[in-house]
Amino acid sequence: MSARAIECTPSAYYHSLLIKNLLDNPVRQFPNQEIVYGDFKRQSYQELGERIRRLASGLAGLGVRPGDTVAVMDWDSHRYLEAFFAVPMMGAVLHTINIRLSPEQILHTINHAEDDVILVNTEFLPILEMIRDRIEPVKKLVLLNDTGQTPATTLEIAAEYETLLASGDPGYKFPDFSEDARATTFYTTGTTGLPKGVYFSHRQLVLHTLAAGSALAGTGQGRFNRDDVYMPITPMFHVHAWGIPYVATLLGVKQIYPGRYVPEHLLSLIQRENVTFSHCVPTILQMLLSSPKIEETDLSCWKVMIGGAAMPQALARQARRRGVDIFSAYGMSETCPLLVFAQLKPHMQDWDEERQLEIRCKTGLPMPLVDLRIVDPEMNDMPHDGVSQGEVVVRSPWLTQGYLKDPQNSEQLWRGGYLHTGDIGVIDAEGYLKITDRLKDVIKTGGEWISSLELEDLLLKHPAVAEAAVVGIPDPKWGERPLALVVVKLGQEVDAVMMRTWLQDFADKGMISKWGIPDRVLFVDAIPKTSVGKLDKKVMRQQYGPAVN
């Protein structure tokens, strides 16, 4: 016998999970709450609601219809937040273009997503001018301008953003439609091949918002609630800025959008606006903590969620000394993105600082509605003993259902009915996940697996090391051997023997295998990174592998 569906009276209204339903209550309940864009603009939630309606009306006037795609090329701004809501709420698809990709990659994403309109900041006009003759078909451009001056460009501009809003209807009514309608699309920043398109429905984004909000609000440490002041330091083009702008708007908190990321400017905003909750990748936090302005900035009320890469304990310790409530989070472009948070359980609140630090630097506990497993190649579950490694596979209501126009890779992503993250991890007895490496970055030497992330964390504990990365380099005897790349702090001196001796000490204590000590350590001025600040190990293997073999 099958499960029995509920019966609906003919007059009953089915309340779909649409993004517009995230906006109504905070605009009504907190109309005077502030949204700040750097040094350029302050507006209220009431103004936000009106500007969202005007933007949708203006775009409709340009010919945008349900199912069309509207792209954005901008720094983090109030305009971006308005597009987060207005575009999907009118039934169109929001494409957040990664402005840090190469012009050729940006061209690929524009054509592949079939963008109909592009909202473009004046600073990015040269990119579009470079690729204009290969954009298919010709797009309508809406200019985003902070200078007040008309830029010199050979591109045809259909409208200026504020003029478009002024012409829009403040009473625009957003339609009802299926909650399974596509709301957003963007492209992965992986290090193999062309960027892949992922996409998410209204239902997925609403459920992600509710689950993330409930997970973050339900703990004493790392809590995000209505009393906070929120400033993302993760680009809004990158997986909806981890989806937190939707959570912040739903809660009705004060929001700060910083524009271009300049450490001194970010610290000034934190101090001036009393920012209490942010999220970023480790490299951004390192930049902030290394800025001279840090000495005049009070961070004792700042909560920071770290993702995009493993958080080194040395960095977390440095942040904790400044009073920062820091913790890890985990997800990926394909997962909308959030899956887990590394927040302390109640019984851990009284632990000593070093013991707490170990938890904060783990990958985390799955948030509500996430089914997360670690499995062997045959999809068998691995023990939750903190030692047994397996690939992380997941199910939840907000995972991309495939790659855009790419059925082969879509099936590979979802083989066995679970989304395969490509990450290797362990789960301990408390239920905390710890990512030990990317499947493709694990160093396989003489039949053993060596975690590059573990070696990097130990290298970063050395007082003279500013940055570190470890990759596997082909070896005729062992298959692969680890190669360490190290950036030395200004004014410090260290050599390869000292680095190997440093790691040998951890091996002697049983913390790593002796086989994990790199045969070679190279000192470099900078370590290659992707457009979103992750270590680009594909480039490292290409750049340094041949040179040392």
* Residues with active-site annotation: 188, 334, 444, 449
Sheet holding 157-160, edge to edge: 157-160, 140-144, 117-121, 69-73, 93-96, 182-187, 197-201
d(CA 357, CA 313): 7
d(CA 12, CA 332): 38
d(CA 217, CA 368): 12
Burial profile 108-120: b = 16 or more Cβ within 10 angstroms, e = fewer: bbbebbbbbbbbb
Of 45, 188, 63, 271, the C-alpha closest to 531 is 188
Of 362, 359, 387, 382, the C-alpha closest to 372 is 382
d(CA 306, CA 169): 40
d(CA 123, CA 73): 9
Q: In the structure encoding, which two tokens stand for residue 103, read together? A: 């012009």
Give 482's strand partners: 472
List Cα–Cα distances, 369 to 214, 304, 380, 422, 435, in angstroms: 11, 23, 21, 21, 20
Burial profile 30-52: b = 16 or more Cβ within 10 angstroms, e = fewer: beebbbbbbeeeebebebbbbbb
Burial profile 279-295: b = 16 or more Cβ within 10 angstroms, e = fewer: bbbbbbbbbbbeeeeee
Give 44's strand partners: 34
